[in-house]
Chains A and B, each alone.
Chain A
Amino acid sequence: MQKQEEGVFNQILEDNKTSIYRICRIYAVSPVEPQDLFQDVIFQIWKSYSTFKGKSNISTWIYKIALNVCNRSNMQFKSLNNKTTRLESIQFKLSETIPDEIGEKKFKALRDCISLLNAVDGSIVILHLDELPYKEIAAITDLTENHVAVKMKRIKKILLECITPKLK
């Protein structure tokens, strides 16, 4: 990778780190930590970067990798005998705006409800919550735009039924 390419790669990571971390948090189930998943996603992005041909939007491609890594995180974790990629160059610090206990409870409720969905439906709702248009969600999940829209209606209903009593 040449210097100029390295600069582009770094910028891609900087631009997408928040979205990647959100996805990692929703999928991380103990003993896997969101930080571990995040590092694995970065590692996979790095490994696949040379094969990115620019046919799709870079963020579409990043979402695809992040969802793939996170979806098979538990299986991968077992097969690697608890070994995950450790990158010292990525540091996680507590931010000044730490969510309160209620915020954490609400997040846990959302995570529990999303975990009830199958892999595709889970991916769709995550991308929808990240405010991606149906067209982009369709490109990431290899479905048609119409199919995503129909699925999203059903997913929203399931999610609302699950989360409403938990948020009260």
Chain B
Amino acid sequence: MAKQEQRETWQDVKEIWGNSSQGKKINFHFLTLIEELKANTSQWEKDSIKSDVAKIKSSWKQYKGNVSQWEKDSIARDLSKISQLLKKFLKKLRRRK
């Protein structure tokens, strides 16, 4: 492509870009815009929390299915050890009183 042709086409591209916002006029109603943005923010946050909870729930279902029996037994053993130690500790605490 000749350099002159390239320059002209690039000029056309620039014009197309410059004209691309001409079809619409954008008007802001600033008196109500801030209030509307505030109202939408809280709704957006609510939706965002809901979608996070849904994601956690669905991934937990997947994760739950992948936990092996060995891991379950191991967690049960740890929990029983913790509760025994806690019982001992509470007994000692009561005796001191």
Q: In which size bucket is the chain A interface?
A: 35 or more
Q: Are A167 and B12 in contact (CB under 8 A)?
A: yes
CB distance from A155 to the nearest CB of B (A): 11
- Interfacial chain B residues near A13, Cβ < 8 Å: 28
Q: Are A160 and B10 in contact (CB under 8 A)?
A: yes
Please pick, from A6, A25, A98, the residue contacting B34 in the complex, using a CB distance under 8 A: A6
Chain A residues packing against B (C-beta within 8 Å): 1, 6, 9-10, 13-14, 17-18, 21-22, 25-26, 34-35, 38, 42-43, 46-47, 79-80, 83, 85, 87-95, 97-99, 103, 106-107, 109-110, 129-130, 156, 159-161, 163-164, 167
Q: Are A87 and B26 in contact (CB under 8 A)?
A: no
Q: Are B30 and A22 in contact (CB under 8 A)?
A: no
Chain B residues packing against A (C-beta within 8 Å): 1, 5-6, 9-10, 12-14, 16-17, 19-30, 32-34, 36-37, 40-41, 44, 47, 51
The 8 A-B pairs of least Cβ separation, nearest first, read: A89-B33, A129-B17, A89-B29, A95-B25, A46-B37, A93-B25, A10-B30, A89-B32
Closest residue of chain B to A1, judged by CB? B34
Q: Are A92 and B25 in contact (CB under 8 A)?
A: yes
- Interfacial chain B residues near A107, Cβ < 8 Å: 16, 19-20
Q: Are A21 and B26 in contact (CB under 8 A)?
A: yes
